[in-house]
Structure 1
Amino acid sequence: MNELKDRSVFVEASEVPKGPIIFVMVLGAFVAILNQTLLNVALPVMIVDMEMSANAAQSLTTIFMLVNGILIPITAFLMEKFTTRHLFLTAMSLFALGTLICGISFSFPTLLMGRVVQAAGAGIMMPLLMNVILSLFPIEKRGSAMGYIGLAMMFAPAIGPTLSGFIVQSYSWRVLFFIVLPITVIDIILAYFLLRNVTKVSKPKVDYKSIVLSTFAFGGLLYGFSSAGEKGWTSIEVLLPLIAGAGIMFFFVSRQLRLKTPMLEFRVFKYNMFTLTTIINVVVTMSMFAAMILIPIYLQNIRGFSPLESGLLLLPGAIISAFMSPITGKLFDRIGARPLALIGLGITALTTFLFANLTDETGYYFMMFGYSLRMVGISMIMMPIMTAGLNQLPRRLYAHGTAMANTLRQMSGSIGTAFLVTVMSSQTAKHVADFMPASGTPSELQLISIENLASIQGINDSFMVATVFAVLGFILSFFIKRTAPVEEDQEYNQQMATKSSSKRQVNQNVNPSHSK
């Protein structure tokens, strides 16, 4: 009984109330995602107020993504090294400190430092939350629990752009950080009293070489891909990080496969359903980013809508998908991932194709309806597919599976963004040449019209590529099957016991007097 009162000790899932733990951790994930979506809309205002360049402002987003992406692969090690409470409280405290620094900063370097501290905390939250759910819930109830993660993932982006657009039009951009900070502090207090240690700790040794290799490998790849959309794939600033990142990644993976206790276990890919669902999630994430990037560009740059109007168009779909997530989670527990994936990806493919036919007269409310329907499809895909893959892993690989799934989701988001923006840019340039009159020089008004039409066609071409991604995910979803955790934990424990027994036998043979 005393042990149950001590929140610092590990307790079995059956002995703890699950609701308070999930609420505290989902709230933490929610504010981390909300913080990121709030800032994107506020960057133009911050450029003027802080007197910084557009590149400097963009680096506030890039540095957050980089630190986040670098930290996520290391979370598997952190989750095995530290307890649930210790790790979550540290992550939330770092996030709160970074938020405070950003809110009171009056110079670009201070603001950038705040973003780095924020990202150091935020990167831990999602893998830790997923690992806790895998540890707390039996396989037949994980879908419902994962659905609440989907609610946080969808609802934060739903209200973020609209809320940010309203605030920056009426108040200082600093208010954005001071909205997030009290929620974060409340969550830290709740976590201190409610959070329990439900993940097992194995205390692995720190492998500094792996940490350094992981940092430069994932950092190089993420920076290269995130820069490619803006600077082009042939830019030295893109090629150098990509080549260096890929080379270092080879050594990182080789090292992980040689180590007995790797920092990030790549052997999770020997489980076929985890591998399949990870591939589908990568493809779907790349397709999902099409609408998130291209629709605001179309609305604001071509049609002349304000950022607030752009955010309002996306709001209903994001809210619908957020509230659909718990429903699809419960459906997952009943019927499995394949029916949900096929229906969801079918809807996603059709609605993405719908956006591949935009014109300069496409109706605002027609787009709102199409985007809302598309988000219904996406809400049926993301968490159910990821859960189906993680369900196959034995308990000892939960931390590595969640870290790997989140790492690849982060990578695919950067790759998808860069690739789709590149398609849009290159196709726009091609269409400008096609629309130019065969003879004579167009007037300034004609040139603006040609550029707008070419941009719309470039966006349509990019949506067509995203449709291909969705169709590929749809085809792969036919191979999803229901799985149960591989009965490897018992075998693994027996192997460890056999090795330990063998070592003792060797020691006894070497030193018989000691055995006496």
Structure 2
Amino acid sequence: MREREEPRAASFWPLMSAIFLGSFMSGLSSSTVTIAIPELQRHFGAGLPLIQWTLTGFLLAMGTSAPLTGYLGGRFSFKWLYVASLVGFTLASVLCGVAWDARSLVAFRILQGAFCGVMMPATMTLIYQLLPRGQQAMAIGLWSLSTMLAPALGPAFAGWLITLGNWRWLFFVNVPLGLAAVGLAVRMIPFYRLRIPESFDLPGLLTVITSTVSLLIAFSQGGSWGWSSGKTVSLIALGALSLVVFTLRELKTGAPLLDLRVLANGRYLVTSIISSIITLNLYSGGFLMPLFLQRVQGVTPLETGLILLPASLAMALIMPLVGRLYGTFGPCTLMTVGILMIAGGNHALSRLTPEISHTYVLWWMLVRNVGISLSTMPASNAGMEQIPLEQSGHASAIGNWLRNVFGAFSIAIFTSLLSTFGSREAAALMSQGMTEPRRIELLAFTAGINDVYGVGMVIALAALPLSLAVRKSPGVIETPVEAR
């Protein structure tokens, strides 16, 4: 490693303004597409298994590019890595807006997600390396607000754009936002490099991509191929073997793509598992409810966004408050309450009927989303606050890699489960003598969504004993870098 270059002093609000806009744009790009999936199906005449890849592929690309953050940030600085990811994301958004068929849109969304996957861990690393310890909890609260505010506004905003124009504006709107974010980042973020890696771990990159893609395809297609089919089993075996090779490689090499040694920190490992479970519930709920409202209850995209808006706004606006509560209550209390609320919301949403009121949906989505707000920031900060400074880039990359991969897996797995559970219910209804096709479709699809929310409840409860083990931190290993 070459000599480290210390940064100039970073002021809190200028730095956070530069980070906030980029993170907001990233969150907006996923939440708007979620609400547009039925419209994209109609426009392209494509089925849900293909169109869901506009979201799954985006998240997958985020997960597979996130491991590059540690190397690229060290090589070119996290400031210029962030700027480059903003430029690439903006250009990819233009390509998404001019997509000519479903497959081209999926391809451009994957490109967009790749830049986004670098952007998110880069911004988190900037916070932990440029701001003093006492400001980090508040900064992560604002960072989380930026990632949650976009999903809060995204559904209503997307519905409005689709109603007034068409789905292409969901991507073109990123152009002015992206240019503004680039200008703020260049001006407000100081340049520094803590270390410059001397080599790139290409075998690590290839094995992590092979593992992630193989497992995702297996889980997304397992329902239609059959879980015991040769293709499904082979992909799962290839993915598992590649993951083992990747892990062994990263633990032995002197310049790992992802320094998995940070997982030896028990607190970081536990909070990473909790964060992955929270992310799984975040994306699965955001994916399922618009499908239910539009496909079963027949509401418009704009109405869907407005129904979900209060719950999403509550999730976003509570984030800054959680940053303040963190110092008083600590991560254990906040995560425990949050996880119980997520599980309770999932339980209530596993009892939907085609005639259920929108008030019922709104209330329990609100309970669920407030729980996500209460637990997201504590899980992120509790793990990072004891990581040594020079490992913070790798720790941020690992955390974002896990969250994005689990987000992609949640969409793929739950889509597969939705198809499996729905088909089973349809067969049961027909065996009982029901003959009306539309009624069978509505009841079967609703039953499938109920079963998937039930699975989400069980998964959320699995995080409860883990959250009880995370106590207030007695201190940190290193303080942030000093200003010159």
- The answer, yes or no, to whether TM exceeds 0.5 is yes
- Could you tell me which residue of structure 1 aligns to residue 473 of structure 2? 483
Structure 1 residues 413 and 43: alpha-carbon distance in aligned structure 2, compared to 1, 3 A threshold = closer
- 1:72 paired to 2:62: no
Asked if the contact 1:135/1:198 (under 8 Å) is kept, the reply is no
1:77-123 Cα deviation digits (max 9, x unpaired): 22222212221111111112222333345567765564344233211
User: How far apart, CA to CA, are the structure 2 residues paired with 1:42 and 1:414?
Assistant: 17
> Structure 1 residues 236-245 or 356-365, which shifts more?
236-245
Asked if the contact 1:344/1:376 (under 8 Å) is kept, the reply is yes
Structure 1 residues 47 and 340: alpha-carbon distance in aligned structure 2, compared to 1, 3 A threshold = closer
Asked if the contact 1:79/1:201 (under 8 Å) is kept, the reply is no
Structure 1 residues 63 and 462: alpha-carbon distance in aligned structure 2, compared to 1, 3 A threshold = closer
User: How far apart, CA to CA, are the structure 1 residues paired with 2:416 and 2:399?
Assistant: 25
User: How far apart, CA to CA, are the structure 2 residues paired with 1:55 and 1:433?
Assistant: 21
- Could you tell me which residue of structure 2 aligns to residue 135 of structure 1? 129
Match of 1:297 among 266, 278, 291: 291
Asked if the contact 2:163/2:301 (under 8 Å) is kept, the reply is no
User: How far apart, CA to CA, are the structure 2 residues paired with 1:457 and 1:56?
Assistant: 22
Asked if the contact 1:147/1:328 (under 8 Å) is kept, the reply is yes
Query: 1:93-492, aligned counterparts within 5 Å?
Result: 93-104=87-98, 106=100, 111=105, 114-198=108-192, 200-228=194-222, 233-234=227-228, 238-436=232-430, 442-443=434-435, 445=436, 447-484=437-474, 487=477
> Structure 1 residues 147-156 or 34-43, which shifts more?
34-43
Match of 1:452, as an amino acid?
A: L
1:336 is paired with a residue whose SS is helix
User: How far apart, CA to CA, are the structure 2 residues paired with 1:340 and 1:264?
Assistant: 29
User: How far apart, CA to CA, are the structure 1 residues paired with 2:107 and 2:429?
Assistant: 47
1:288-330 Cα deviation digits (max 9, x unpaired): 3342233223222222222322222211111111111011011
State which structure, 1 or 2, has the greater radius of gyration over its C-alpha atoms: 1
Asked if the contact 1:84/1:196 (under 8 Å) is kept, the reply is no
Shift of 1:74: 1.7
Shift of 1:45: 4.6
Match of 1:463, as an amino acid?
A: Y
2:350 is paired with a residue whose SS is helix
1:425-460 Cα deviation digits (max 9, x unpaired): 33333333444455xx543x3x54344334333322
Asked if the contact 1:82/1:201 (under 8 Å) is kept, the reply is no
User: How far apart, CA to CA, are the structure 2 residues paired with 1:245 and 1:94?
Assistant: 29
Match of 1:338, as an amino acid?
A: C
1:264 is paired with a residue whose SS is coil
- Could you tell me which residue of structure 2 aligns to residue 510 of structure 1? none
Asked if the contact 1:221/1:241 (under 8 Å) is kept, the reply is yes
Whose RCO is larger (CA < 8 A, sep 6+)? 2
User: How far apart, CA to CA, are the structure 2 residues paired with 1:488 and 1:152?
Assistant: 27
User: How far apart, CA to CA, are the structure 1 residues paired with 2:49 and 2:431?
Assistant: 35
Shift of 1:217: 2.4
Shift of 1:349: 1.8
Structure 1 residues 54 and 464: alpha-carbon distance in aligned structure 2, compared to 1, 3 A threshold = closer
Asked if the contact 2:35/2:305 (under 8 Å) is kept, the reply is no
Structure 1 residues 184 and 399: alpha-carbon distance in aligned structure 2, compared to 1, 3 A threshold = same
2:472 is paired with a residue whose SS is coil
1:200 is paired with a residue whose SS is coil
- 1:34 paired to 2:39: no
Is there any run of 5+ residues in structure 2 with no aligned partner, and where?
480-484
Match of 2:62, as an amino acid?
A: N
Structure 1 residues 378 and 105: alpha-carbon distance in aligned structure 2, compared to 1, 3 A threshold = closer
Is there any run of 5+ residues in structure 1 with no aligned partner, and where?
1-8, 490-516
Note the aligned Cα RMSD (angstroms): 2.7
Identity of aligned residues (%): 28
- Normalising to structure 1: TM-score of the pair? 0.84
Shift of 1:55: 6.3
User: How far apart, CA to CA, are the structure 1 residues paired with 2:329 and 2:198?
Assistant: 38
User: How far apart, CA to CA, are the structure 1 residues paired with 2:467 and 2:37?
Assistant: 38
- Normalising to structure 2: TM-score of the pair? 0.89
Query: 1:3-18, aligned counterparts within 5 Å?
Result: 10-12=5-7, 15-18=9-12
Shift of 1:272: 0.8
